[in-house]
Structure 1
Amino acid sequence: MKKTTLSLLILLGMWACSKAPKTLPDEEYGKLTDDDKRKIEHALDGIQVADSDLELTLFASEPMMMNPTNMDIDAQGRVWICEGYNYRNKLNPKNPYNPKGDRILIMEDSDKDGKADKSQVFYQGEDINSALGISVLGNKVIVSCSPNVFLFTDENNDGKADKKEIIFTNLKGVQHDHAIHAFSFGPDGKLYFNGGNEVETLSDKNGKELTDDLGRPFSTYKQGKVFRCDIDGSNVEILGHNFRNNYEVALDSYGRMWQSDNDDDGNKGVRINYVMDYGNYGYKDEITGASWRERRTNWESEIPLRHWHLNDPGVVPNLLQTGAGSPTGMIVYEGKLLPEKYQNQVIHCDAGPNVVRSYPVTKNGAGFTATINNILDGSKRDQWFRPSDVTVAPDGSIFVADWYDPGVGGHAMGDSVRGRIYRIAPKGEAYTVPKFDFTTAEGCVEALQNANISVRYLAWTKLHSLQTQAEEALLKLWKADDSRMRARALWLLGKIKGKEAKYLQEAASDKDEDIRITAIRLSRELSINNMAMLQKLATDPSAQVRREVALAIRHKNTSDAAEIWATLANQYDGKDRWYLEALGISADNQWDSFFAAYLAKAGEKWKTEAAAKDLVWRSRSNDNIFRLAELAKNEKDNLRYFRAFDFQNNTEKTKVLLGMLDGGNAKADVMTLVFKHLEVNSAKNDPLFKSLLPKVLAGITNPADYLDLVKRYEMKDQSERLSTMAMTDSVLGGEAAKIQVKLNGIGALQQLTRSKDEAIVRKAIGVYGGVDEKPVTDFLVTLFNNNKLSLPVREQAMYAMYGWDSEEILWGLVKANKVSEEVLPIAKKILMGTWHSDIRTEAMKMFGADLDKELGDINTLAKLSGNATNGQKVFKMYCTACHLVKGEGVDFGPGLSEIGSKLSKTALYSAILNPSQGISFGYEGFKIKLKDGTETEGIVLSKTENDVNLKAIGSSTPTAIKRSTIVSMKQNEESLMPKFPLQKQEIVDLVEYLGTLKKQ
């Protein structure tokens, strides 16, 4: 190298370093006030870049733009965002509202200095308030905003929407985080999109509900869903379901789908998924719709796994679980600008822990494993960093949208005027936009290889329209070495009319397994007979390829398809759950013929070989109950087989289960499990059932099993055992008391309170007093007003008046002056923190406890320091009745063990002082009126065909309410969380303590 060249490189390097943004050292950053940390000049200081090879720059910020919910970058390198300024503001009048509606902005760096200097409003209106998705496809822009998905067209390319159409409508989730999300252009020329679990179904632009290929309405699929459609919105398919809040689906060049999913807050179950086509992802019980919290046979030992029903047959495994969080935007980065370790990997935002990460993926059988690499991290400095989306620019750099807020949505925001857009690139790499030629096939093939989806859309569309005129240029890419680029070429070559079979045959014989996979996926989209190809690939050495063959024969009702399935099933190794679930998905609606074909080949292997036993466990064939019964009776690991009975539809199921009892000579655990899985009504009429039930109950040693059976069969003769359990079981005692009262009234409680041992009396009041039923409450009143009893007993009875119905009765007594002076102070405390907002308001006025004026505004409070030790005492006094922290408390509201990692001080104050402003999804309160005139209130865990499962206020165990007994069920506008009458210092100390609850 010449000396002058070397010197020039050194000078350029020094220049690049001098232009790189400097961040403050920890010591200096720590000296900044909270107000200073929020300022734009310190935006970069608050975010740590994990990779020393990368640099972070600020592309745009307030006041140019605010609250970016979603982002896209067009072929010109312009950044488009949906603003969420009006997020929930009409529902929360404390926040400002723009009557013109929210905006779609186009931001451009016209002077090439790496920062946006131009901003243009593409569209503004109340119909796009808090839109959650934007996709820019040439002069067309798709905006996702429940109840509609809009298609805007800029007909004269002036950066303004000239035409607005509706593609889909009647979507639930208006102003809701769990609504319809962004669209992505796939390598096959189709659109992929998803919706969280507020999106119960999908209707076309005319409001007609869509159906799957068998005519089943989309509403029959549970919870959050993934969809695919043609570019004009036609031919819609469901590609996955039973997610919670799957925020954004990302695709790679082979057509594989990846996305994230949020758990019920506080359960450390956030996950990343490879979306296997048509898979069930287990948020709710597949058959009944029951919550993951409701006890079931063979449930997982850890809550993050239990959350997704991972032990159930028919649930696709998770790729990776990342703990607590609020996952948002996602891409598959197939660019070349970033270092190699990020190339071809999923890159993802999680607003909860303030991070942007990549997830390096490794193939594992028919599935994948993944690890975590942090890219950006704001958790240690600026917890207001809330990355909402990530997008690839045409130069291969990535941009991150930052909602910038003390909280993470959840129906609330603490800051309405800030928002940032960042760019991540190797150090010294200025932002440039390549020039593209979309007029020629050669230019389009070059553009097709770009990392930016908007560029690829324009290239793909032109190449597809050229058909054979593009073939020669595409062939050069097809014959190149880059597997992913070859796949992109194949999607187009295989759609050249008259050439489909030629390129499919070539690809199906390719040495690259990912190309063979792409061939199978392509063949599914083409109107040609692909059975010969699938038959050949059914014995492919790659489990990944065989997985795709299985998915390709789903709903193919032919003998060839059954034979292919049997061939695939015979290659299952007994270890690969992904492969097993692919087989299960493949056999949907034709289990009888597929499984019969397998048995014809496998014979009696299901009795002896682990892999064949797994297939029996997964099978839904009509005659499978007989094989399940044999395995459930004889296998050591029999819980999984009994659980599998819950997914069988054979009308002979009860008869087969009862046959397993051997007339009462079966093992005790087998008998217990049989009785747990019988269909109640048919079983009660069987004489064998009636004769053996007492024996089964007597032989049960597991208290949870005992309670399940007593409740299931309404065994009123179990009063004595229930009473003993209520008083001795520290975990399930409250549930036993609840069942006892429901079945037999309060006789046991009355008898226990007559004991001469005051400790027993107080224990009984504490346990049974938690049952919020009128007979119990009426009895408690006679206790706390009885001055012949000791004061500790009376106080215990008053403390037991916490509860929806109890508090209402107590308020009536206090107003009527019918509460003894000795226990009145406790009554005041209960009523000033009651669940009833109307009672709470009146009680605070009556007792002179209106403290709001003393507290000051939230921003002022956030600057104060408290005593965490004292705050923990406040938490135990007021909060453990509904929240769990590190295993202590009641599992009613969201778990708070890591709340300090998720919410800043400002957000914590807001959650405590304004609980109705940000109700966590899944924790909304419902008021249910029953035919007997009573009311109850709590959280609806699930709705099944016959029951509504309600977790009553302050309870950790659900109660099944028969739908036939319900008059009405109305969602509350206000949070179930009471607004406690805390002193200012108590609140400051409480927030200080909550801030210490962070991920270890």
Structure 2
Amino acid sequence: MKYIHRLLLIVPVIIGACNANKPSVATVTLTEAQQRLPENAVAGLKTRDDLETTLFASEPSIMNPTNMDIDERGRIWITEAYNYRNELNPGHPYKQAGDRIMILEDINGDGKADTAKVFYQDTCINAALGICVLGNKVIVSCSPNVFIFTDTDGDDKADKKELLFRGIGGIQHDHAIHAFTFGPDGKLYFNFGNAGDSILDKNGVVIKDAEGRLIANKGKPYRQGMIFRCNPDGSGLEVMAHNFRNNYEVAVDAFGNMWQSDNDDDGNRGVRINYILEHGNYGYTDEMTGAGWSSRRMNMEDSIPYRHWHLNDPGVVPNLLQTGSGSPTGMVVYEGDLLPAVFRNQMIHGEPGHNVVRSYPVKKNGAGYTAVIENILESGTDQWFRPSDVSVAPDGSLFVADWYDPGVGGHQVADLDRGRVFRIAPAGSTYKIKPPVLNDAAGAVAALKNPNLSTRYLAWTKLYSMGARAEKELLAMYNDTNPRYRARALWLLSKLPNGAGYIQTALRDKDEDIRITAIRAAKESGVSYGNLLVTDTSAAVRRQALLSMYHSREADMPANWALLAAQYDGKDRWYLEALGIAADGNWDACFNAWRKLPPNKQLPEADHDIVWRARTAAALPMLASLIEQHNSDPMLHKRYFRAFDFYPAAESTPVLLGLLKGDHPQQATINALAFLQLDASAVPKTSAMTALLNSSLKAFSGHMEFVELVLKYHLRDQNETLLQMAKDTRNGELQGYAMKTLLQCGGQPLVLKSMGRKDSAVTFTLVEAIGKAQDRTNRELLSVIMRNNVYPLALRQQAARNLGHGWEGYADLWNMVERKSMPADLDTVARAVLTHAWRQDIKAKAVAHYEPAAAHHDLKPVDQLVTLKGDISGGKKVFVSYCATCHLAGNTGVNFGPALSEIGSKLTKSALYDAIIQPDAGISFGFEGYFFTMKDGSQVLGYAAGETDEEVDVRTAGGQGVKLKKKEIASRKAYEHSLMPTGLATAMPQQELVNLVEYLASLKK
């Protein structure tokens, strides 16, 4: 059993009731160990007033539940992760046997599991992240494989194991394959995150889509995380959408709508909920180059949570909802009627990062939706509550799997032995399940109405096998007043020999959701409906008509597209992106057909948006015309300049060069933006063009674009301006890049001359600016300052500190010590820096060299540290001193490592201590270090923020970025440690550590 904290807490204990939010009749003092006991689990939670939470199962029956499904008998199937990252826990008893798939059953109807059976156990399913129960078959997702287990004799044991897919990410990768779900069309839906990379069939062959395109993260066209649909046997694999980060679980409703969550790069408050447009690009990386969201581009979004998804780019589907920080997990669409009305027909979702199960009720809004947040179950006093999945039982009650841990995965686990399953239902609701009777069509139709997916799978399979013999009962269901029942019936009716007739009828139905379902059924069945819906009154129906045109070869498609485009209102981004998806691969014909229609004089911005979204050379002159409008500020047209990035250079370059010849009242601004977008090699090397470039720089005075232009065109006459920018402390990122560019442009003498003045504030500012990057020129200059006694000691000490925070900087500093060239008056600073270095080889040498001066003090165990009281204001000062050089908290710090602005909502104090004391134990995905050796012998250590075919965008300590040309990289290998320094906890007095954790714990949403 892992450590148990001894902290005393006052926790309400409910006597004679299980609902956490009901008034307590007694209050007792519980130790932390008592609070963790299953009998006190519900008391630590807070349930919505009109519902009741009860404990269905807990340890020792189950532990570490990662995913869950519920079969038609109401039995709970659980995948466990006792072996999650088992290399961190050598010697535990299940390492040899492997993880389990458990079946939990309530036999006597008291709402608690009476039996816990092991369906299967083996190392091949260690830390499986998905389970889908379909009759006697169970689909288990465990990166890099997807297995189908079959119980052939009904004894609740797996008798056969088969591969369905393989080659999906690495072993036990949280960002790879996730759970499967059964769709209303009889197909399987699933997804993988951005570590999935590619997908192979059971024989190891890389799968291609129906058009022969490789399904892999290669940008041709697919990128990053993806959503898939396939037949039950794995054939007919389709990519339904792509370019997600870690889309955890896709949920499909009766109409065929897809919904899911997606996690951001840790700490950037960009977690999102998505409504899925088929074939949509969701913008995690640059569509064209694959560059990461932090790489600079034209028209970058103002805030990181939106910049994170490239939302200003043409071709990116908007987000339904952004929920801030978090660690989103399992999701389901609740189509039952037991829960309150607000949750019916809505998404329900586990969010362990914020210890909550919640819903996102949606309202239709044009071609898309809006959403709000409604909590169902959340932590009250127990922050270990980590809901990993949610499922709907046959009676309509909601079940929640609880990973139960101080943290939320992310390559780290602190508690191996606990896990819970909760049931949520109205108070007094009993859990008695009557299995469906599927002897005839009437029984199967009744089962098809059930809110439980496994029950619906059996019903769907039975009705499909009956064919025309089920038509009468299905038709009766289609005439029901419940539109979701009608949609489920329509999917099956559409597959009958006369299914085209049912589709044609449904296309004219008064209910827009039925018309949308019919469009999807028509697409799957190959039924043509011409221009029937081109003028439909519903924007959502027209959206779906557009999506069904994706890669259509019908002769009237361009004309129909043009008529649909003419109905765009200039405000509905969902509709605009549906237009873009529909025209993909056929933009020339669609755009030309649209241009033949009269312009939209009432809503000219609608036409402007279509030009911006287009991907045809015919749109480029129109983009230029929009930029050159004399009555507008060119700065407002960065979006149009950004659009040029989505065209081949051969098409865009002549138009951009043409913009340099205009006569706009703010022509210098237009020129500056055009120069930024042009490839430097495409700009003629003439004196007139040079003069034009220099005059355009004024448009970006004091801004990052100025630095970018100077660097891009290797301008050597702007060093004085760069120096002034390097002195400006109001924008640390700009200050650092200005200095970096100044030194690259031969500005070292100018910097040294400026430092020769007696203004100590300026000299310290310049040393700080030099230290923001670890380029060779920066490091050499810091070394010069350190050795020159002309400069004050305090300044030279600061130069030493700034040198010693990067991979090669540590080496430079240590070499000076080892070769005895370190100035004696800097030895104390060098010792402090090197003995606490995050570069482990240098730290080991330094500790040995300075022993015993660098000896660390001993810390109390974590279970004692959490009992100590810290000071938040003091902790903030510690953060600024130790952490702000790499982490961002609110507006303080540097955005290098995971942002910590809401870390107190995600991690308990014990987990925070663990993260600080043992940074190597859990490295956030996306922040793993890589060690690059360049062909010139230099070395760079950092994490890859983005990668294109030509370069790797590497973030180094301190937050500065360096773009490494791939042709100049000699080797790249993973760094075995965290980029966060070890020994940080012992580098400060214990009370400072306690204060720091107190401050971090206070950072909540």
Shorter chain as denominator, the TM-score bin is over 0.9
Report whether the alignment pairs 1:453 with 2:453.
yes
Q: Paired residue for 2:9?
A: none
Separation (CA, whole Å) in 2 of partners of 1:721 and 1:403: 55
Q: Paired residue for 2:578?
A: 582
Q: Paired residue for 1:5?
A: none
Structure 2 residue aligned with 1:83, among 63, 74, 80? Answer: 80
Structure 2 residue aligned with 1:901, among 905, 910, 929? Answer: 905
Question: Aligned pair in 2 of structure 1 residues 766, 169: CA closer, same or farther (>3 Å)?
Answer: same
TM-score (norm: length of structure 2)? 0.94
Q: Paired residue for 2:325?
A: 324
CA apart distance, 1:26: 8.5
Report whether the alignment pairs 1:984 with 2:990.
yes
Report whether the alignment pairs 1:806 with 2:805.
no
Report whether the alignment pairs 1:539 with 2:535.
yes
Structure 2 residue aligned with 1:208, among 187, 205, 210? Answer: 205
Segment of structure 1 superposing worse, 909-918 or 252-261: 909-918
Q: Paired residue for 1:935?
A: 939
Structure 1 residue aligned with 2:593, among 597, 609, 612? Answer: 597
Separation (CA, whole Å) in 1 of partners of 2:111 and 2:607: 59
Matches within 5 A, 1:549-588: 549-588=545-584
| Letter paired with 2:647 | Q
Q: Paired residue for 2:614?
A: 619
CA apart distance, 1:570: 0.9
Q: How many residues align?
A: 976
Segment of structure 1 superposing worse, 235-244 or 804-813: 804-813
CA apart distance, 1:294: 2.0
CA apart distance, 1:730: 3.0
| Letter paired with 1:889 | G
Q: Paired residue for 1:229?
A: 230
Question: Aligned pair in 2 of structure 1 residues 143, 684: CA closer, same or farther (>3 Å)?
Answer: farther
CA apart distance, 1:475: 1.2
Q: Paired residue for 2:514?
A: 515
What are the Cα deviations for residues 235-278 of structure 1, in whole angstroms up to 9, with x where unaligned? 00000111111000001100000000111111111111101111
CA apart distance, 1:40: 1.2
TM-score (norm: length of structure 1)? 0.94
Question: Aligned pair in 2 of structure 1 residues 714, 33: CA closer, same or farther (>3 Å)?
Answer: farther
Segment of structure 1 superposing worse, 135-144 or 829-838: 829-838
Question: Aligned pair in 2 of structure 1 residues 229, 418: CA closer, same or farther (>3 Å)?
Answer: same
Separation (CA, whole Å) in 2 of partners of 1:869 and 1:770: 27
Q: Would the aligned equivalents of 1:173 and 1:180 in 2 still touch at CA under 8 Å?
A: no
CA apart distance, 1:745: 5.8
Name the SS for the 2:410 alignment partner. coil
Q: Paired residue for 1:875?
A: 879
| Letter paired with 1:489 | A
Separation (CA, whole Å) in 2 of partners of 1:608 and 1:20: 58
Q: Paired residue for 1:728?
A: 728
| Letter paired with 1:764 | L
Segment of structure 1 superposing worse, 384-393 or 261-270: 261-270
CA apart distance, 1:691: 4.4
Q: Paired residue for 2:139?
A: 142
Q: Paired residue for 1:629?
A: 624
Question: Aligned pair in 2 of structure 1 residues 125, 745: CA closer, same or farther (>3 Å)?
Answer: farther
Matches within 5 A, 1:914-933: 914-933=918-937
Separation (CA, whole Å) in 2 of partners of 1:352 and 1:704: 35
Q: Would the aligned equivalents of 2:295 and 2:946 in 1 still touch at CA under 8 Å?
A: no
CA apart distance, 1:908: 0.2
Report whether the alignment pairs 1:154 with 2:151.
yes
Name the SS for the 2:607 alignment partner. helix
Question: Aligned pair in 2 of structure 1 residues 271, 26: CA closer, same or farther (>3 Å)?
Answer: farther
What are the Cα deviations for residues 475-507 of structure 1, in whole angstroms up to 9, with x where unaligned? 1111111100000000001101x2111101111
Structure 2 residue aligned with 1:48, among 46, 49, 60? Answer: 46
Report whether the alignment pairs 1:189 with 2:186.
yes
Q: Paired residue for 1:783?
A: 785
Q: Paired residue for 1:505?
A: 504
CA apart distance, 1:31: 4.0
CA apart distance, 1:698: 4.2
Q: Paired residue for 2:399?
A: 399
Q: Paired residue for 2:282?
A: 281
Q: Would the aligned equivalents of 2:130 and 2:142 in 1 still touch at CA under 8 Å?
A: yes
CA apart distance, 1:920: 1.1
Question: Aligned pair in 2 of structure 1 residues 38, 609: CA closer, same or farther (>3 Å)?
Answer: same
Segment of structure 1 superposing worse, 974-983 or 741-750: 741-750
Name the SS for the 1:975 alignment partner. coil
Separation (CA, whole Å) in 2 of partners of 1:95 and 1:810: 43
Separation (CA, whole Å) in 1 of partners of 2:990 and 2:512: 64
Q: Paired residue for 2:253?
A: 252
Separation (CA, whole Å) in 2 of partners of 1:848 and 1:140: 63
What are the Cα deviations for residues 759-810 of structure 1, in whole angstroms up to 9, with x where unaligned? 3333222221333233433443343344454322222222222322111121
Name the SS for the 2:54 alignment partner. strand
CA apart distance, 1:664: 7.5
Name the SS for the 1:180 alignment partner. coil
Question: Aligned pair in 2 of structure 1 residues 684, 181: CA closer, same or farther (>3 Å)?
Answer: farther
Name the SS for the 2:331 alignment partner. strand
CA apart distance, 1:439: 1.8
CA apart distance, 1:624: 1.2
CA apart distance, 1:365: 0.3
What is the aligned-residue RMSD (CA, Å)?
A: 2.1
Q: Would the aligned equivalents of 1:135 and 1:141 in 2 still touch at CA under 8 Å?
A: yes
| Letter paired with 1:878 | Y
Q: Would the aligned equivalents of 1:20 and 1:428 in 2 still touch at CA under 8 Å?
A: no
Separation (CA, whole Å) in 2 of partners of 1:376 and 1:652: 55
What are the Cα deviations for residues 942-988 of structure 1, in whole angstroms up to 9, with x where unaligned? 11121111111212x42211111011111212110002123333222
Name the SS for the 2:286 alignment partner. coil
Name the SS for the 2:941 alignment partner. strand
Report whether the alignment pairs 1:826 with 2:833.
no
CA apart distance, 1:720: 2.3
Segment of structure 1 superposing worse, 868-877 or 67-76: 868-877
Segment of structure 1 superposing worse, 651-660 or 516-525: 651-660
Name the SS for the 2:945 alignment partner. strand
Q: Paired residue for 1:476?
A: 476
Q: Paired residue for 2:369?
A: 368
Separation (CA, whole Å) in 2 of partners of 1:653 and 1:351: 46
| Letter paired with 1:877 | S
Matches within 5 A, 1:334-349: 334-349=335-350
| Letter paired with 1:481 | T
Q: Paired residue for 1:117?
A: 114
CA apart distance, 1:612: 0.9
Unaligned ranges ≥5, structure 1 = 1-15
Separation (CA, whole Å) in 2 of partners of 1:769 and 1:650: 37
Q: Paired residue for 1:947?
A: 951
Name the SS for the 2:717 alignment partner. helix
Name the SS for the 1:985 alignment partner. helix
Q: Would the aligned equivalents of 1:29 and 1:45 in 2 still touch at CA under 8 Å?
A: no
Matches within 5 A, 1:586-735: 586-602=582-598, 604-605=599-600, 609-634=604-629, 635-636=632-633, 637-649=636-648, 651-662=650-661, 667-684=667-684, 689-728=689-728, 730-731=730-731, 732-735=734-737
What are the Cα deviations for residues 604-655 of structure 1, in whole angstroms up to 9, with x where unaligned? 5489811111110101012211111111221543111111111123623111
Separation (CA, whole Å) in 2 of partners of 1:599 and 1:795: 67
What are the Cα deviations for residues 19-70 of structure 1, in whole angstroms up to 9, with x where unaligned? 6546686997794332222111211111101x21100000010110000000
Question: Aligned pair in 2 of structure 1 residues 34, 822: CA closer, same or farther (>3 Å)?
Answer: farther
What are the Cα deviations for residues 266-292 of structure 1, in whole angstroms up to 9, with x where unaligned? 111111110111111111111111222
Q: Would the aligned equivalents of 1:607 and 1:613 in 2 still touch at CA under 8 Å?
A: no
Name the SS for the 1:504 alignment partner. helix
Segment of structure 1 superposing worse, 827-836 or 907-916: 827-836
Q: Would the aligned equivalents of 1:622 and 1:650 in 2 still touch at CA under 8 Å?
A: no
Separation (CA, whole Å) in 1 of partners of 2:515 and 2:832: 69
| Letter paired with 1:895 | A
Q: Paired residue for 1:12?
A: none
Name the SS for the 1:164 alignment partner. strand
Separation (CA, whole Å) in 2 of partners of 1:460 and 1:688: 72
Name the SS for the 2:704 alignment partner. helix
Q: Paired residue for 1:13?
A: none
Question: Aligned pair in 2 of structure 1 residues 22, 352: CA closer, same or farther (>3 Å)?
Answer: closer
Separation (CA, whole Å) in 2 of partners of 1:162 and 1:820: 73
Q: Paired residue for 2:30?
A: 32
Name the SS for the 1:228 alignment partner. strand
Question: Aligned pair in 2 of structure 1 residues 213, 850: CA closer, same or farther (>3 Å)?
Answer: farther
Separation (CA, whole Å) in 2 of partners of 1:308 and 1:444: 43
Separation (CA, whole Å) in 2 of partners of 1:599 and 1:676: 30
Unaligned ranges ≥5, structure 2 = 1-13
